[in-house]
Structure 1
Amino acid sequence: MPRPSAPGAGDRRKPLWVIIVACSVPMFMVALDNLVVSTALRTMAVDLDASTTELQWFVNAYVLSFACLLLTGAALGDRFGRRRIFVAGIALFTLASVGCGLADSSEQLILMRAVQGLGASAVMPLSLTLLAEEVPDKKRNLALGLWSAVSGLAVALGPVVGGAVVDGLDWQWIFWINIPVCLVAIPLVLVVLRESSLAGTRLDLLGMLLTTAGLLAVVWAIVNGEDEGWTSGIILSAFAGGAVLLALFVMWERRAPQPLLPLSFYRVRAFVFSNLVSASMYFGVFGSIFLLSQFFQIAPVRTPLEAGVLTLAWTLMPMFVAPVAGALTDKVGGGRLMALGLFLQAIGLSWINLVATSDTPYSRMVGAMVVAGIGMGLVFAPTAAVVLGSVGPQYRGKASGANNTVREIGGALGTAILSSVFVHYGDDRTAQGFVDGMKPGIWIGVAVVLVGALCALAIPRPRPEDNVPATVAGERESDRTPSSATP
């Protein structure tokens, strides 16, 4: 297996903050667009004469292509150059944003949103991989904490930016704002970050096809389960087809000369449990935030912008906590920090559920949101550090892609299941009806978050023997050659 440049092999004379900005700004743009559209859906429905199903696909088209192609985006970076594919992803995402802004029909917007997801699938995993390569080992966890803070800021600002744009401008501006970000990001990346790749790497084309098709079937079933019915024939068939394709993917990866996802990762306890933590957190927390962002618009009635501002007590906390958590990861242990963070999230969600009524004063909920936000910040950076630290340097791209895939699927599944529970027990016609549906959904989120906390406690402190061995099953030592790394 070809090897990359040494960890932290970037020009160490570059200020740490410049490297973090170069890696984080494109990731911020991608993460923001994962949330900002939801706030504008009602306005889009009027302007585009969109049906309820089409509105859902304005969100789902992005989620589907993004979640299903993350592994492929990381693999393309390993093969053709991580910086090159990173820049190509930024450019494609921005061109698709222009297409979204110019769309005058639902069909055009859905297509462009899918292309946005394609670009995002290259940006997100390679952002983390490039950061890990450019930063010296002793500063890596701090850098990951700051990177996580930027990611948390995107989560925080998504509803606010969406609400502000809808209230003050046309909905198209939620896409136009990506253009100046791109114009800054691409030159910054080309100047600050070095190119790196795994010389001699061959693409696992069959692995890409099987995993993309399998994940597409599973994620499609997740995002459509509520509308079609979880026991309907089409949903069960999609789950079954996805399971078969993913099983074939696993069988192929066991014999592939250069696998898309080395199965030896799953012999490393830290890697397995940190991925379970990611899936649990995104299931419980982001499914709950999906409901709470609507709760603040209906109990009592508020504008989207007002509701977005109220969620900042929760969503801004990771921006302050994540850098501290990153710096403490080696001293305290990533698993312990993740467990504490998930327990705090469970406390915050339970607190919200216990005080929520059709007219609860915001002052009674703000403390719970702060607690939950601190918990979120304690999970982001340690998870990234443990995932990257549990594999060898040459596998960071693949590990990042795998973790992002699990995370996105967990978030999609949480939103879909908690929404289904909400529909079963309540409705959005009245404030009380919304509370009746929201509470059982959030209790499920609490339960899943607690399961994630138990998984975090099972993560061992790092030891040299915990890393993935340099030679993965099916690879020959003679196949390993130095990587390319050019200024």
Structure 2
Amino acid sequence: MSNLFSDLEGDDGIPGAQRRLAIIVMVLGTSMTVLDGSIVNVALPMIARDLQVDPSAAVWIANAYMLAGAMTIVAFASLGEIIGFRRLYIGGFALFTVTSLGCALSPNLMTLNIFRFFQGLGAAAAMCIGPALYRTIFPTRLLGAALGVNATVVASSLAAGPAIGGAILAVADWPWLFAVNVPIGIFTLILARKALPHDRGRGGKFDVMGALLSATAMAAIIFAIDGISDQHNREKEWAFVGIALIATLLFIWRQQRAAAPLLPLDIFHSKRFSMSVITSLCSFTGQGIAFIALPFLFQGAYGFSPLMSAALFTPWPVAIAIVAPIAGRMADRHPAAILSTSGLAVYAIGLALLACLGDHASVTDILWRAFICGIGFGFFQSPNNREMLSSAPRNRSGTASGVLAIIRTFGQSMGASLVAILLAFAGVSHAANSAAAIDASAVHIALWVAAGVALLATIVSGLRIQRQKS
């Protein structure tokens, strides 16, 4: 870790002493915005009971946050290149902090979802240019190690969310899950103004039409998936499918012809970049499924408290914290595709083992299976992120960062929507059964889907190895 702050003649980036403060800002900002994508998951059953809504509706407390990110991350990445990464990061994080207070004070589900959406917008603005900021903060010779730190923070924060949420719920009500962001957010903003490097941005025009089409396409895709759970309104579901298809085609057409496209499509000409994107999408979809579904299994079927439910997630982030830094350093010396594929294979096995949990599982049984998932995911993410960013030109750092962030957010959102679908179908097909039976049935199916998606990611990642050898 100390090597990250060393100075050598000819280094780009900022001086080592300033890097220390900058990395504190990045770690705090990244951990908070990512945590809020999963910290609420363990509280969903409690919030559903408190606000008197169905579990499938409560899932949108998590999904509204991720939907906002999926809709806007590409636009924010482009905006960051225009106005400067520092300005966008500080503005986005300020919005995140203010709307966190709004979430804490929300009296009903609709208000909470509205604030969660705007909280997601702030998080997207700050999070989407995180890797690009690392590339301006650290010299090129330390890029791999720096991205390893970022990947570790992202993965650990995402996985630790349920455990931290459970710890808060043990001593306070669910609004405090959001209220704790306010004082930490203010401190981070003050430090960010001092530590982050100034950059003017490249200037130029912002592709407003591209941003609108991108947001429309992403939103329509999510709503179309969610609409599958509605047995009585198939016309609405197909309308969203049509909107998504039309908006996607128009977005591609626009990006091919715009003088300053929102997302330069030539970045996908790199096979290394494109295949890394696919593996990342699949892996985060699987993790999104697991993190939304498992609290319903632990609390609904097994009868664990929110605190105990959160504790059962602990081996996952612990394993990531152990493995991800090692994988990041190894990626500087060994082929990232081999490292990523190995991690994905272990990750898929871990998800399958969780899917094999019976109707009554011991704490030990759950813990070791979650630990295997963490080992696999931790070994996958750092090398894969390095592969993505190193295969993109330096002047496309913002674009690559945006793609990386949107894939993570969109994958989690897809996972949450799939769980909502399965919970809704379980409620219809098991109408006479208990809530615990419904939860157990739906969650086991969801975990098998997650394992299948992780297996698909393993296969795609394995093709990268064959490509490198040929």
After TM superposition, give the deviation of residue 458 of structure 1 in Å: 2.8
Q: 2:69 aligns with which of 63, 66, 71?
A: 66
| Mean CA deviation greater in 156-165 or 71-80 | 156-165
Provide the residue aligned with 1:189 in structure 2: 192
Q: In the aligned structure 1, how far is the partner of 2:106 from the partner of 2:185? A: 20
Partner SS state of residue 260, structure 2: coil
Q: What's 1:297 paired with?
A: 299
Q: In the TM superposition, what is the alpha-carbon distance from 1:253 to its structure 2 partner?
A: 0.7
Please, which of 317, 327, 330 is the counterpart of residue 328 of structure 1? 330
Corresponding residue to 2:41 among 38, 54, 62: 38
Change (3 A) 1:17 1:368: farther
> For residue 7 of structure 2, what is the aligned residue in structure 1?
none
Amino acid across the alignment from 1:128: P
SS in 1 for 2:170: helix
Distance 1:148 1:417 in 2: 25
Q: What SS does structure 1 have at the residue aligned with 2:333?
A: helix
Cα deviation for residue 21 of structure 1 reads 2.1
What's the CA shift for 1:423?
5.3
In the other structure, the counterpart of 1:351 is: 353
Q: 1:213 aligns with which of 213, 216, 223?
A: 216
Counterpart of 2:120 in structure 1: which amino acid?
G
1:87 to 90, 99, 106: 90
Distance across 1 between alignment mates of 2:11 and 2:285: 33
- Which residues of 2 match residues 96-245 of structure 1 at below 5 A? 96-222=99-225, 224-229=226-231, 232-245=234-247
Residue in 2 that maps onto 1:470: none
Distance apart, 1:36 and its partner CA:
1.9
CA RMSD of aligned residues (A): 2.5
Residue 362 of structure 1 deviates from its aligned partner by: 2.2
Unpaired runs of 5+ residues, structure 1, are 1-6, 464-487
3-state SS of 1:316 partner: helix
**C-alpha distance in 1 between matches for 2:276 and 2:359:** 37
* Deviation (angstroms), 1:280: 0.7
Q: CA deviation at 1:344?
A: 0.2
Q: Secondary structure at the match of 1:168?
A: coil
Instruction: Determine if contact 1:129/1:396 at 8 Å carries over to the other structure.
Output: yes
The 1:384–1:20 alpha-carbon spacing in structure 2 relative to 1, beyond 3 Å, is farther
How far is 1:55 from its partner? 2.7
Unaligned runs of 5+ in 2: 1-9
Moved more, 296-305 or 431-440: 431-440
Q: Deviations over 1:315-347 (max 9, x none)?
A: 321122111111111322221111111100111
8 Å CA contact 1:221, 1:235 repeated in 2: yes
Whether the 8 Å CA contact 1:299–1:360 is kept in 2: the answer is: no
> 1:138 and 1:364, CA in 2 relative to 1: closer, same or farther beyond 3 A?
same
- Matched with 2:260 is 258
Could you report, residue by residue, the CA deviation over 1:95-142 in whole angstroms, capped at 9, with x for unpaired residues? 111112222233322221111011011011112210122111221111
Deviation at 1:248, TM superposition (A): 0.6
Offset at residue 179 of structure 1 (A): 1.0
Q: Distance in 1 between matches of 2:419 and 2:111?
A: 29
CA contact (8 A) 1:287 1:414 kept: yes
Give the corresponding residue for 1:483. Answer: none
* Change over 3 Å in CA distance of 1:115–1:136 after alignment to 2: same
Q: Percent identity?
A: 27
CA gap of 1:16–1:81, structure 2 versus 1, over 3 A, is: closer
1:27 aligns with 2:30: yes
Separation (CA, whole Å) in 2 of partners of 1:317 and 1:215: 32
Match for residue 445 of structure 2 among 434, 440, 444: 440
The match for 2:5 is none
2:359 and 2:400 map into 1 onto residues whose CA distance is 44
Distance in 1, matches of 2:318 and 2:282, equals: 21
Distance verdict in 2 for CA 1:300–1:209, change over 3 Å: closer
CA-CA distance at 1:74 after TM superposition: 1.0
